Each structure stands twice: as structure tokens, then as C-alpha cells.
């Protein structure tokens, strides 16, 4: 297949070649910046794709990724595996572990997780300047000069590419397992909200006075995924 009909041909070529540096460049296009956990997600994705022998993933749920976190790692996994939030091949479990499982429909699967020792010693292996700027700008959301922001970007980019060189067995645990894969997604009909007039997936509409109404118009509770995990809103 050519690039014009198969958009993942370059990424899958890079996976076959084991070209983790260029895969990280690709992941950066989605993620917006280079950071260590993006790099670790790219590595984890590559390990799982190779261990499960996935040559091609056109995003039709024949292969699914079950993610256990929504941090920077997740974007590396999405780019390399091709299992994404939008193609329904990404299944999110809100358990807060930097880990994911790549599975085929028949349940054969590979789980890749960061080792606890690696996570615990992670900050101490970064330059102190990078840690200090990270605390100030990202963690505490404090005011920073453009020079400080540029310096953090530079240090973080270096740290990101350095993650690619660490021995795999120091960073990850890799397990082959058999799992129950959730069913394929369905296409649901849409209905029109009687209040705002927007189209809404039938299974998400509420009935008010016998009419379908969307959740915001019904002011009904629903789940929300954000940087704190999944919570109920409303
Ligand atoms: Zn990031
Ligand atoms: Zn509405």
C-alpha cells in the first residue's frame, strides 16, 4: 500500500526498522513537545508491536491498546500502535499506572509497564536544573521568563531522547498474557435534541416530555476524563 491510501506506512516502516528516534519525532508532532514520558510511551509501543508481531494496524480494532494512564506516555503509545482515542481501539482504564497492554482480538496480548525502581529514581537521574525548572513552570504553574521556558524545552528534549538509550530491562517489564478483549464498538444512530437542535448519539440522549434531549440541555450527570482521571460531572 502507498502512503496516499495507507497513512501509517511510514510509522510501520520505522517500527520494522526499530527506528525509535524518528518515531519519537513523529510522536512529538501529536504531543506538541518532547518529554521523557512521551519517549517512554514510544518505546513501550515499539516493544509491544514487535513482541505481538503486529506489522500493520489500520485502526479498525483488530488490535487494541488498553491504557492505564493518561499522561504523556499515552501519546507515544497512540502514535506507535495506531490505537487511538478516535478510532476506538484505545481502551482507557483509570488506574494510574504508566503501563499498557496491546492485544489482538483473539486475546493474545503483551503488557508493558514501567518498573517501579525506574519511576522512583527517575527525577534523581535528570539534571537538577531541569528538575528545578520543571517544578517551577509545569508543576507549580509559576511565572517564568521566556529564557527559562526555552531552557526547560531544551533540557526536556535532551532528557526525552536520552530515554531511548537506556537498557530495556532497566526501564520496562514485559509480559505475554491472554486477556478478554472488550467487544468491538458499534455505530449508534443520532437523534436531534429537542432543545438545542444539535445532533446527539442516541444512547447519550435523555427523554424529557417524550422528546430526546442532549445531556447538557438536560443538565444530566456524565463522565468526564481530564488530567485528574475520570470523574462524574453535573
Ligand atoms: Zn509531555
Ligand atoms: Zn441540547
Q: pLDDT of 102-156, one tens digit each?
A: 999 999 999 999 999 999 999 999 999 999 999 999 999 999 999 999 999 999 9
- The pLDDT tens digits of the residues spanning 182-221 come to 999 999 999 999 999 999 999 999 999 999 999 999 999 9
DSSP 232: E
Report the distance separating Cα 183 and Cα 140, nearest Å: 41
Q: How far is the CA of 31 from the centre of ligand 1 (A)?
A: 7
Query: Ligand 1 centre from 79 Cα, in Å?
Result: 13
pLDDT over threshold 90, residue 234: no
Distance 178 CA to ligand 1 centre (A): 31
pLDDT digits (tens, 9 = 90+) for 19-77: 999 999 999 999 999 999 999 999 999 999 999 999 999 999 999 999 999 999 999 99
Q: Indicate the length of the chain as a whole number.
A: 234
Q: Which ligand is nearest to the CA of 76?
A: 1
Nearest-ligand number for the alpha carbon of 206 = 2
Tell me the C-alpha distance between 179 and 93, whole Å. Answer: 14
For the chain, the farthest-separated pair of C-alpha atoms sits apart, in whole angstroms, at 62
Q: Return the C-alpha cell found at 171.
A: 526501564
Whole-number Å distance, alpha carbon 157 to ligand 1 midpoint, is: 10
Q: How far does the centroid of ligand 2 lie from the alpha carbon of residue 172, in Å?
A: 46
- Beta strands 211-213 and 206-208 are antiparallel
pLDDT value at residue 169:
97
Q: pTM of the prediction?
A: 0.95
Q: How far is the CA of 51 from the centre of ligand 1 (A)?
A: 25
| Ligand lying nearest the CA atom of residue 212 | 2
Helix (H/G/I), strand (E/B), else coil: 104: strand
Which of 133, 130, 153 is closest to 142 using CA atoms? Answer: 133
Q: C-alpha distances in angstroms, 230 versus 70, 155, 168, 225?
A: 10, 32, 31, 4
Instruction: Round to whole Å and give the CA distance between 179 and 182.
Output: 9
**Residue 3 pLDDT exceeds 90:** no
Distance CA 74, CA 90 (A): 10
From CA 73, how far away is CA 164, in angstroms rounded?
13
Give the ligand at the shortest distance from the Cα of 159: 1
Q: Per-domain residue ranges for the chain? A: 9-129+155-178, 190-233
CB 80 within 8 A of CB 27: yes
Kindly identify the ligand whose nearest atom is closest to the C-alpha of 211.
Answer: 2
For residue 185, the CA-to-ligand 2 centroid distance in Å is: 24
Q: Which fold has domain 9-129+155-178?
A: 60s Ribosomal Protein L30; Chain: A; (3.30.1330)
Q: How far is the CA of 217 from the centre of ligand 2 (A)?
A: 4
Looking at the CA of 70, name the nearest ligand.
1
User: Regarding the domain delimited by 190-233, which CATH topology (the fold level of the hierarchy) does it fall under?
Assistant: Wheat Germ Agglutinin (Isolectin 2); domain 1 (3.30.60)
Tell me the ligand closest to 160's alpha carbon. Answer: 1
Written as one string, the DSSP assignment of 178-225 is E-PPPPPP-PPPEEE-TTT--EEEGGG-EEETTEEE-HHHHT--EEEE
Average pLDDT rounded to a whole number, residues 8-27: 97
- d(Cα 166, Cα 48) in Å, to the nearest integer? 17
Amino acid at each position: 500500500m502507498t502512503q496516499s491510501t495507507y497513512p501509517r506506512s511510514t510509522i510501520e516502516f520505522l517500527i520494522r526498522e526499530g527506528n525509535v528516534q524518528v518515531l519519537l519525532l513523529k510522536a512529538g508532532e501529536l504531543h506538541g513537545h518532547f518529554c521523557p514520558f512521551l519517549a517512554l510511551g514510544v518505546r513501550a509501543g515499539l516493544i509491544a508491536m514487535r513482541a505481538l508481531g503486529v506489522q500493520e494496524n489500520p485502526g479498525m480494532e483488530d488490535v487494541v491498546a488498553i491504557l492505564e494512564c493518561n499522561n504523556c506516555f499515552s501519546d507515544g503509545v497512540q502514535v506507535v500502535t495506531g490505537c487511538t482515542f478516535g478510532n476506538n481501539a484505545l481502551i482507557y482504564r483509570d488506574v494510574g499506572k504508566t503501563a499498557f497492554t496491546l492485544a489482538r482480538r483473539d486475546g493474545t496480548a503483551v503488557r508493558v509497564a514501567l518498573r517501579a525502581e525506574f519511576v522512583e529514581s527517575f527525577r534523581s537521574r535528570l539534571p537538577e536544573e531541569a528538575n528545578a525548572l520543571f517544578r517551577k513552570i509545569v508543576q507549580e504553574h509559576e511565572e517564568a521568563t521566556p529564557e527559562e521556558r526555552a531552557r526547560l524545552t531544551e533540557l526536556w528534549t535532551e532528557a526525552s531522547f536520552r530515554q531511548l538509550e537506556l537498557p530495556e530491562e532497566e526501564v520496562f517489564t514485559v509480559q505475554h498474557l491472554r486477556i478478554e478483549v472488550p467487544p468491538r464498538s458499534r455505530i449508534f444512530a443520532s437523534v436531534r435534541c429537542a432543545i438545542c437542535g444539535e445532533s446527539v448519539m442516541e444512547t447519550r440522549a435523555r427523554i424529557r416530555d417524550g422528546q430526546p434531549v442532549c445531556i447538557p440541555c438536560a443538565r444530566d450527570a456524565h463522565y468526564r476524563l481530564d488530567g485528574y482521571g475520570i470523574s462524574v460531572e453535573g
